[in-house]
Amino acid sequence: MSTVKLAVIGGDGIGPEVTAEALKVLEVAAPAGVTFEQTTYDLGAERYLATGEVLPDTVLEEIRGHDAILLGAVGGKPNDPNLPPGILERGLLLRLRFELDHYVNLRPSKIYPGAVSPLANPGDVDFVVVREGTEGPYTGNGGALRVGTPAEIATEVSVNTAYGVERVVRDAFARAQRRPRKKLTLVHKTNVLVHAGAVWWRLTQQVAAEFPEVSVDYMHVDAAMIFLTTDPARFDVIVTDNLFGDIVTDLAAAITGGIGLAASGNVNPDRTAPSMFEPVHGSAPDIAGQQKADPTAAILSVALLLDHLGHPDAAGAVEAAAIADLADRTPAAPRRTAEVGDAIASRLG
């Protein structure tokens, strides 16, 4: 018998709806002898609006004491006057990623048999984006001067440390090494962002020497958008910075069947703190509370969580159940969020 302490943050909008289905699936997928002991945290817009709290230090420390985190989504309607922009995104989600050192933001993209790609001939798409999770333009290193005047200046400085770049690049190489095609593509914009680009390029070349079997490719991020839509099957492992990775993975989701299918893991590979698993999508205020959200991304995030915790068979079973469900879908007859969760859970039951 073993116990896994799981922190659950449903969050905002469709977050709690899809998380409920993910937990339903986890309940039936948990390997024999493993108990998931859940602590639910009511973090998000509602708590902020009621109390002014986003992520109290005491709560962060409690969360740190768990083995893993399952998150739905955070954030409100864009431009809601009651929610200052970024308050939840930066104060809750990014704070968790930074404080818990989630330097590998893992975002796999596959076209599963039943998934409908908007591309006419996508080919055999199966790649993973290793998005840096703790640096880049996300660190909040910037500021504004003369706000509201015609002379206003705003900066968002991208932070790229040799330490931070090298560790994520090495993780990406190690993943490429374990995959059949053993191919890594660095995606950046070294032709314009010459300072950050130089660090990424040099460390990629340097770490490549440790992985002689992995072939290395480079693509500017704009050209990568072309190839993601014209020939996505060419990619195997993509390594990129925090902001490029955010953008690349929404496109990756769109071409592999939609944002409702895209799972992610915010991984601390050194295991100095719990890793966090969440769908790539946000709180989707346009469909929140209507049971219209597809919970598959949240459910596939549970597969990533199980794999991370050392249960590859259970992870594979969850993925297989989601794939089987996908193959059975009729686009003309969409099901409610809970019906999809029930259907996937019952395949495992």
Please report, in range form, the residues annotated as the binding site for substrate: 97, 107, 131, 222
| Residue 52 Ramachandran class (φ > 0 left, ψ -120 to 50 alpha, else beta) | left
Binding residues: 97, 107, 131, 222, 246, 250, 282-294
Secondary structure of residue 176 in the 3-state scheme = helix
If one asks whether residue 134 binds ligand NAD (CB under 6 A), the answer comes out as no
If one asks whether residue 246 binds ligand IPM (CB under 6 A), the answer comes out as yes
Output 76 or 137, the one with its CB closest to ligand NAD: 76
CA–CA distance, 69 with 247 (Å, rounded to integer): 23
Site for ligand IPM in 89-118 (CB under 6 A): 89, 93-94
CA–CA distance, 86 with 106 (Å, rounded to integer): 22
If one asks whether residue 262 binds ligand IPM (CB under 6 A), the answer comes out as no
- Using CB under 6 A, pick the residue from 75, 76, 108, 341 that binds ligand IPM: 75
The catalytic residue among 67, 103, 189, 307 is 189
- Using CB under 6 A, pick the residue from 287, 324, 338, 343 that binds ligand NAD: 287
If one asks whether residue 126 binds ligand IPM (CB under 6 A), the answer comes out as no
Secondary structure of residue 112 in the 3-state scheme = coil
- Using CB under 6 A, pick the residue from 129, 267, 284, 318 that binds ligand NAD: 284
Secondary structure of residue 273 in the 3-state scheme = coil
CA–CA distance, 86 with 90 (Å, rounded to integer): 5
Site for ligand NAD in 16-35 (CB under 6 A): 18
CA–CA distance, 91 with 75 (Å, rounded to integer): 10
If one asks whether residue 156 binds ligand IPM (CB under 6 A), the answer comes out as no
182 is catalytic: no
If one asks whether residue 286 binds ligand NAD (CB under 6 A), the answer comes out as yes
If one asks whether residue 266 binds ligand NAD (CB under 6 A), the answer comes out as no
CA–CA distance, 248 with 15 (Å, rounded to integer): 22
Burial of 243 (0-12, 13-18, 19+ CB in 10 A): middle
Active site residues: 138, 189, 222, 246, 250
